Copies of this chain bind each other. A is one copy, B any other.
Amino acid sequence: MNSPSDVGAIRPDGRRERGERTRTAILEAAARLASVEGLEGLSIGGLAEHLGISKSGLYAHFKSKEELQLATILTAEAIYERDVIVPAMEASPGVARLLALTDAFFDYVRSGVFPGGCFFIANSLDPATARRGRVKDLLARLQRETLEGLGEWVREAQELDGIASGRDPRHVAFEIDSLMTGADRNFVLFNDPASLEDGRRAIYRLLSAVA
């Protein structure tokens, strides 16, 4: 998501590369912070204080709070891809991929990579943030893509493994996503990993329903 400019790529002194590394480190801290404080709580000043760097240093990377929020969401998305989507892609298509996705999702929530549970569930339901303009539009687009991708994997599992035969794969995808959402919500509220097992168990059950 950060496309280094040609100018940066040919600079011999590594300055551009170091700048990208700094930007990435800032955004990863911002994503962790936003899963606890909310995206709305992400101000340039607040993040600078949290990181122990100057406000002007941060302004060199992000021109506005909105730009910082959007970049933070894309950073969280990259972490989600790495921790949840890639392990699923490495499994065989069909039910095996959906089970790998389920396991990877609950491991990702439990791992604490985001201290406030799943970044996207927390922030898409954050009343203070998620209603507004480009931030909300980006969160909505990512959720649509998640549901569509999941629907595609369900369709493959129907074809290859005969689960949920005759059902609209989008409906099954909605149910899987909801069980992840509900389990994450309870996990955060109750601070109890048993809530994640509730979600995992329910999705496994859903995926074992062979017509």
Smallest beta-carbon distance A118→chain B, Å: 9
- Complex contact B183–A128 (CB within 8 A): no
Partner of A34, one of B36, B127, B144, B179: B127
A 160-199 binary contact with B (CB < 8 Å = 1; else 0) = 0000000000010011011101110110111000000011
**A131 interface contact, C-beta 8 A:** yes
Contact pattern, A 110-146, Cβ under 8 Å of B = 1, otherwise 0:
0000001000011111111011000010011001100
Among the 9-residue stretches A10-18, A37-45, A54-62, the one with 4 or more Cβ atoms under 8 Å from chain B is A37-45
In the bound complex, residues from chain B placing their C-beta under 8 Å from that of A130 are: 188-189
In the assembly, how many copies of this chain are there? 2
Q: CA A204 – CA B35 in complex, angstroms?
A: 33
Q: Does A202 contact B (CB under 8 A)?
A: yes
A139-B189, A189-B140, A189-B143 are contacts. A128–B41 as well, Cβ < 8 Å?
Answer: yes
Question: Which residues of chain B are near A140, meaning CB under 8 Å?
Answer: 189-190
Cβ distance A112 to chain B, nearest Cβ, rounded Å: 13
A50 within 8 A of B: no
Chain B residue nearest to A177 in the complex (CB): B182
Docked pose: A24 CA to B181 CA in angstroms: 33
Given known contacts A37-B127, A126-B128, A128-B41, A143 and B181 CB-to-CB distance under 8 angstroms:
no
Does A21 make an interface contact (CB < 8 A)? no
